[in-house]
Chains A and B, each alone.
Chain A
Amino acid sequence: MKRAGLRVRVIAGFAAGALALSATMALVSFQVVRQSLLDERERTAVRAAYYDASVVRAGLGTSRDPDVVAVLRTLDTGENRRALLQRDNEWYARQADTGAAVAVPPELQRRAAEGVPSVQRVRADGTPTLVVAVPLSESVVFYEVDSLRELEHTLSVLTVVLTLVAVSTAFLGAGLGWYASRYVLRPLRRVADAAEEIAGGASKYRLDPAAEPDLGRLTTSFNHMVDELSTRLERDRRFAADVSHELRSPLQTLAAAVSVLERRRDQLDDRTATAAGLVSAEVARFQQLVNDLLELSRGDRPAERVPVDLPELAGQVCRERGVDPAIVDAAPGGPWCVDRRLVGQLLGNLLDNARAYGGGAVAVRLRLSDGVGTIEVDDEGPGVSPEDKPLIFDRFVRGRSAGARADTAGTGLGLALVAQHAAAHGGTATVTDRPGGGARFRVDLPGCTP
């Protein structure tokens, strides 16, 4: 499973923390409020019951055989309270509904019979109820059954409110987490921006250690790393330049001396002339090899894009190599925004490759659509074997396909440069089979419309 990002984790943490805190607060305050409301309610109920009991006692005391129901009717009990009287195990109520007696739990009756006044909360007909028992004499007990429905309603409203508060606190926590993570990650984003800048070629870009004191170590080591890197790059570049100079100077002597030899070839005896021819050919190849190697060592340079008339360039590259420019098939369109030198070399290398391994190019197609320029070079050779396809753009890989042992004039770097020049434009180079036999090399160059 993919690990969640730091940002997501911070937000989730803040939300969970806020939820836990607010839920605990809500639970505690609910309990406290509930308890105090219940206690208050119970005290009120008991006070009312004692008052009513004293009224009933007075009413019963006035005659020898009093009308119990009438006495109960004199009580002002309101809607929520119902008064009951138990005398000699017989129940009396104001109305005929002695059904309320069912609500009186036996435990309470037993204790009342022993002359102990008591209070108990029970659930009767699905509603919470408070029963208060007040013994009047040995055989008479006055009960009051008090409905707690209103209190329950109040508490359920309170529950809803507290839940809402807890949930919104969690959301608030998440928001705070989002803000905090953004704030905390901002210096890291600056580091990321700097890294991008440097990767994009701004090698002079450095972070200011004073800007983020908390990230002092990161900025220092980041800057140190960039310094190291650019020193190393500079050293490599210098090395390439030095090698270039050291190899090119003797090659210049060779090139000029070989031309003197070539000019006098007919004055030489056969053996010397053959040897001079070999030297001349190898000097040419060595020269190409040095140029290709230097080109490869400069691979990190981005393409310098300018508008280029590609059909014109392709025709010119063909002419330079003695290839009929008529094989260039270009769809009409504006100029391509590419590095002229790189694309010219890329085209030349594809043509050279076709000549060395595929009997010469038979078609060069140029297409430009949606900003992606596509170059295809076809040959009618034996094609590229499936096992060679993934390797063919590597350095020093030469075709081993059936019967096409490499023309020894190649450097083995031509297609590697094709791939590198395509990559310098953010593009790709691939090889497929040409319908009808042969190989088809294809280069896609994005961003070709200005």
Chain B
Amino acid sequence: MSAVLVIEDDDRIRLSLVLALEDEGYAATGAPTAEEGLAAQRRSPADTVLVDLMLPGIDGFECIRQLRRSDDVPIVVISARDDTHDIVAALEAGADDYLVKPVAVKELTARLRALRRRARVALAAEVPVLAFGDLEISPEAGEVRLRGEPVAVTRTEFQLLCELAEHPGRVLSRQQLLQRVWGYDGGDERLVDVHVGRLRQKIEDGAGAPRRLVTVRGLGYKLQR
């Protein structure tokens, strides 16, 4: 049974989400503040964390950053705010997905399933290591190495990288990536852009033009050999 932690200050929302998720077969627990949520996650780590952005004390953005510091647990934001600014800020802080309230329970569980899926790469069995110059990706081991040094990536970032690595030099559109990594049929393309940005901070050298994960204007992204 998959464990979900719901960090939400509104008692009714928290309670109803916990009830609904339990109905769907999740072991759901609630936390009314970021502090309590972080403590609960340290005590008994959940498999997925749902976070509201407007929280008393430590706010949602900071809560995401602190969770990210110690963990690659999938983080889903559920917020009533739908400003581009908030969405991008939450994703940049380290969230894997962003849902705007009200979210139907069916939709929420679909997102949770998509995030829980392990990176599956068709070539994995035959090719243990995909090499892109000095960037090495081991789908089986779930490892990324840059010049031999391991790079810490989140589960979502890793899957994004694997999808691109599976098609070396080929352009994947944002919609294709949304479909393959997040399981969306027609979702918000900012998800892809922000995750690509986060990945680049980890696998590109400095702030110059990206050499490995390049943007093809009007088409999408590709991983350069």
- A residues contacting B by CB (< 8 A) are 241, 244-245, 248-257, 259-260, 263, 287, 294, 306-307, 309, 312-313, 316-317, 319-320, 335, 340-341, 344, 450
B210-225 interface with A by 8 A CB criterion: 218-219
Q: Which of B40-48, B69-77, B80-88 contacts A (4 or more CB under 8 A)?
A: B80-88
Further contacts, 14 of them, CB under 8 A, given A252-B102, A309-B173: A241-B81, A244-B80, A245-B54, A245-B81, A248-B100, A248-B102, A252-B103, A253-B13, A254-B102, A255-B104, A260-B16, A306-B189, A316-B186, A317-B186
Residue of B nearest to A340 (CB): B189
Q: Mark B10-21, 1 if CB is under 8 A from A, else 0.
A: 101100110110
User: Is B80 a contact of A260 with CB atoms below 8 Å?
Assistant: no
Per the 8 Å Cβ criterion, residues 100-139 of B in contact with A are 100-106
Distance between Cα atoms of A344 and B187 in the complex (Å): 10
List the A side residues contacting B10 at CB < 8 Å. 249, 252-253
Complex contacts, A320 vs chain B, CB 8 Å: 185-186
Q: Please pick, from A255, A287, A319, A335, the residue contacting B105 in the complex, using a CB distance under 8 A.
A: A255
B23 touching A260, Cβ below 8 Å: yes
Q: In the assembly, what is the distance between CA of A319 and CA of B185, in Å?
A: 9
Question: What is the distance, in angstroms, from B175's C-beta to the closest C-beta of chain A?
Answer: 7
Which residues of B sit under 8 angstroms from A341, Cβ to Cβ?
Answer: 188
Q: Which of A244, A256, A257, A287 contacts B82 (CB 8 A)?
A: A244
Please name all residues of chain A whose beta carbon is closer than 8 Å to the beta carbon of B17 when the two chains form the complex.
252, 256
**Which residues on the A side are within 8 Å of B104 (C-beta)?**
255, 259
Which residues of chain A come closer than 8 Å to B78, judged between CB atoms? 252
Cα–Cα, bound, A118→B186 (Å): 113
Bound Cα distance A450, B218 (Å): 10
Contacts known (A245-B81, A259-B23); A252 close to B16, Cβ less than 8 A: yes
Pick the residue among B20, B188, B218 that contacts A335 (CB under 8 A). Answer: B218
Alpha-carbon gap, A260 to B15, bound state (A): 11
A319-B185, A335-B218 known; A257 and B20 CB under 8 Å?
A: yes
Q: Are A312 and B13 in contact (CB under 8 A)?
A: no
The residues of B that contact A319 with a CB separation of less than 8 Å are 185
Chain B residues contacting A241 (CB-CB under 8 Å) are: 81, 83
Q: Which of B16-69 contact A (CB under 8 A)?
A: 16-17, 19-20, 23, 54
Which residues of the partner chain A approach B105 to less than 8 Å between Cβ atoms? Answer: 255-256, 259
Minimum distance in angstroms from B68 CB to a CB of chain A = 24
Residues of B contacting A259 in the complex (Cβ-Cβ under 8 angstroms): 20, 23, 104-106
In whole Å, how far is B186's beta carbon from the nearest beta carbon of chain A?
Answer: 5
Pair B19/A316 contact, Cβ less than 8 Å: no
Minimum CB–CB distance from B78 to chain A (whole Å) comes to 7
Determine whether the beta carbon of A313 is less than 8 Å from that of B186. Answer: yes
Interface centre among A249, A263, A287 (most CB of B within 10 A): A249
Question: In whole angstroms, how far apart are the Cα atoms of A241 and B173 in the complex?
Answer: 32
Chain A residue at smallest Cβ distance from B83: A241
Closest chain B CB from A142 CB (angstroms): 107
A-B pairs, top 3 by smallest CB distance, nearest first, are: A256-B16, A259-B105, A251-B102
Q: Is the CB of B80 within 8 A of A249?
A: yes
- 13 residue pairs bridging A and B, Cβ less than 8 Å apart: A248-B100, A248-B102, A249-B101, A251-B101, A252-B80, A252-B101, A255-B105, A256-B13, A256-B17, A256-B105, A307-B218, A307-B219, A317-B186
Complex: A200 Cα to B12 Cα, angstroms? 43
Contacting residue for B12 out of A253, A309, A344, CB 8 A: A253
- On chain A, the residues within 8 Å of B175 by CB distance are 309, 312
Distance from B14 Cβ to chain A, minimum over Cβ atoms (Å): 9
Residues on the B chain within 8 Å of A256, using CB: 13, 16-17, 19-20, 105
Query: Are A255 and B81 interface neighbours, CB within 8 A?
Result: no
The interface centre, meaning the residue of A260, A317, A319 with most chain B CB atoms within 10 A of its CB, is: A260
Q: Which residue on chain B has the smallest CB distance to residue A244?
A: B80
